Amino acid sequence: MFGNIQLLIAAPALNVQLLLDGILIGAIFALAAYGLALVWGVMNVKNLAQGDYVILGGYIAWWGQKTFGIHPIVMLPIACVLLFIMGWLLYLLIIRWVINRDMFTSLLATFGIAFMLAQLLNVAFGPEIQTAQSGMTTRTLFATVSVAEIKVVSFVLCCVLAALIVAFMKKSRMGQAIRATAQDARAARIMGIDTERVYAFTYALNAAICAAAGVLISMIWVIQPFYGITHAIRSFVIVTAAGLGNLPGVIVAAFGLGVAEQYGGFVLGAELQQVSVVGLLLIVLIWRQIKLARLRQVVQ
């Protein structure tokens, strides 16, 4: 471990490299986490199937490339539309019935969806690991730092998607209705907002956002029917660390998580990569607790 830290000090370019790797991958984490924050904030549903929507998006991109030779990036909007429809149907079929129940019921229901999706993918495509090919290369900057073009492209795509979502939430009628429902569903209903439709739309939008993240992940990492859970955990860590309803917080936390994973993996060894992430969450929560405790004393 100390050897690894010495290495970081001896070769400063490595830090740049790890930061860059972390931020580029963090952008994709931010996308999936934002979807989760949306569903959590608006509907108070903790969607455990988040990661499986991501993987499903990845499988759509991979399948499109394998069967029809379509470039995965072209498959991105198709995957979004398909997952949007699926999200809407799942809402009507399942989520609608659990949305007003206690937290445990919605956790179980979405956990069930996660299981079903993973098994269906397993039956349809088999348990082998798959990858979609972006066909792009890797560039070396200043002879020390190397960047895969696909990561830069995904970063840009993530930014564009995020901007689109923010604009949609601010400007469109549906976006405004979603925000109103999030603030107070009862008041929104009184004002004539069809909250049922808002919920369905929100859940479907989340699935579509996950699909986009999944398509990008299929080109950068690998996909496999049972890999959903790690992506779900990442989203939960990010949203919990950022706090609900805090979009800038989600973005910062996602970048932080991306960088923490890279550094954690480098210094402690790749097997402790995910430990470092959950450890980070613990630190954030404890720190927040201390801050709150101080605040309570002031109030008293």
Copy the structure tokens of residue 62.
């991979």
Give the ranges where the chain is alpha helix by DSSP (H).
2-10, 12-43, 50-68, 72-90, 96-98, 103-125, 149-171, 173-183, 185-190, 195-220, 228-242, 247-268, 273-299
126 sits near other proteins (criterion: CB under 8 A): no
What is the distance of C-alpha 90 from the center of its chain? 19
* Nearest distance in Å: CB 87, other proteins: 24
The stretch among 106-114, 154-162, 201-209, 269-277 that binds other proteins (CB under 8 A) is 269-277
Instruction: Pick the closer one to other proteins by CB: 89 or 145.
Output: 145
Instruction: Pick the closer one to other proteins by CB: 41 or 256.
Output: 256
Residues 51 and 227 sit within 8 Å (Cβ to Cβ) = yes
Instruction: Pick the closer one to other proteins by CB: 164 or 222.
Output: 222
Instruction: Pick the closer one to other proteins by CB: 205 or 281.
Output: 281
140 sits near other proteins (criterion: CB under 8 A): yes
Query: CA-to-CA distance for 300 and 296, rounded, in angstroms?
Result: 6
138 sits near other proteins (criterion: CB under 8 A): yes
Query: CA-to-CA distance for 108 and 124, rounded, in angstroms?
Result: 24
Instruction: Pick the closer one to other proteins by CB: 105 or 273.
Output: 273
Task: Build a one-symbol-per-residue string for 182-221: x at contacts with other proteins by CB under 8 A, - elsewhere.
Answer: --------------------------------------xx
266 sits near other proteins (criterion: CB under 8 A): yes
Among 106, 195, 224, 240, binds other proteins (CB under 8 A): 224
Among 177, 193, 264, 280, binds other proteins (CB under 8 A): 264
4 sits near other proteins (criterion: CB under 8 A): yes
150 sits near other proteins (criterion: CB under 8 A): yes
7 sits near other proteins (criterion: CB under 8 A): yes
- In total, the chain counts a number of residues equal to 300
Report phi then psi at 136, rounded to 5. Answer: -100, 165
6 sits near other proteins (criterion: CB under 8 A): no
The stretch among 13-21, 104-112, 180-188, 238-246 that binds other proteins (CB under 8 A) is 13-21
168 sits near other proteins (criterion: CB under 8 A): no
Residues 90 and 184 sit within 8 Å (Cβ to Cβ) = no
Query: CA-to-CA distance for 61 and 102, rounded, in angstroms?
Result: 36
* Nearest distance in Å: CB 140, other proteins: 7
Closest CA to 49 of 123, 103, 119, 118: 118
Query: CA-to-CA distance for 37 and 235, rounded, in angstroms?
Result: 9
Residues 21 and 266 sit within 8 Å (Cβ to Cβ) = no
By DSSP bridging, strand 145-148 and strand 138-141 are antiparallel
Copy the structure tokens of residue 261.
């994973």
Instruction: Pick the closer one to other proteins by CB: 146 or 183.
Output: 146
Query: CA-to-CA distance for 118 and 63, rounded, in angstroms?
Result: 16
278 sits near other proteins (criterion: CB under 8 A): no
* Nearest distance in Å: CB 272, other proteins: 8
What is the distance of C-alpha 244 from the center of its chain? 14
Binding-site ranges for other proteins (CB under 8 A):
4, 7, 11, 14, 17-18, 21, 128-129, 131, 133, 137-138, 140, 146, 148, 150, 220-222, 224, 227, 229-230, 261-266, 269-271, 273-274
